[in-house]
Structure 1
């Protein structure tokens, strides 16, 4: 199992920063702001792959987060040429605990690095 670094400041050309967003794609703080300022996240786009980032809506409820996580796992499997650095999505401003979120990413392919806080629950 690959582990996402605690702090991501640069990416290799084949890496994608996976972060929690809101549905409106207002990337004003936390990992979303980093994704917007450094890794190509698009203001106004709160879902999916943009530049070297991948947005997961964590602010619209756990059911939406679950759907978005499943879509991400499929996307990652379809793109084995990329390495995805999953941050602890949903565990910041959205207010979920790692044990509530980590399992949503079970079955992620080997090209997905996971945060240390998710490891006990996968």
Structure 2
């Protein structure tokens, strides 16, 4: 898909339309204290103590338990998104904040994301090269 065709998520997500889900980077303990995790907790129903999966109108991906755990959580998320085509998932640049992963390493994990997953612009740009 070319850059002009790929739908991307907004840089700043403050509201969700019906059927939209905010996807954020989390930690295994579900302590949503900062960044997108805090936004998910304060605005979109993330559950304190739940580190990953669907919670309210948000979906957490554990980015803090090492690369292998992160990759596994991304795979689980992509399968969940594929099973729920009625929802639109607004992906934040998971793993590139506090977790410290480089966007060039993370973006390829989303190469085969279903059409209902809107990638953040940095990921879309890297994948469209």
**TM, length-normalised to structure 1:** 0.98
Task: Give, in angstroms, the shift of residue 121 of structure 1.
Answer: 3.0
Q: Paired residue for 2:92?
A: 87
Give the Cα–Cα distance (whole angstroms) in 1 for the partners of residues 39 and 105 of structure 2: 24
For these two proteins, the number of residue pairs brought into alignment is 122
24, 37, 40: which is aligned to 1:32? 37
Match of 1:96 in 2: 101
The whole-number CA distance in structure 1 between the counterparts of 2:91 and 2:45 is 16
Match of 1:120 in 2: 125
**1:75: which partner in 2?**
80
TM-score by length of 2: 0.92
Q: Deviations over 1:74-113 (max 9, x none)?
A: 0000000000000000000000111111111121100010
Partner of 1:56: 61
Pair member with larger Rg:
2
2:113 equivalent to 1:108: yes
Moved over 3 A (4+): none
Deviation at 1:13, TM superposition (A): 1.9
Q: Give the unaligned 5+ runs of structure 2.
A: 1-5
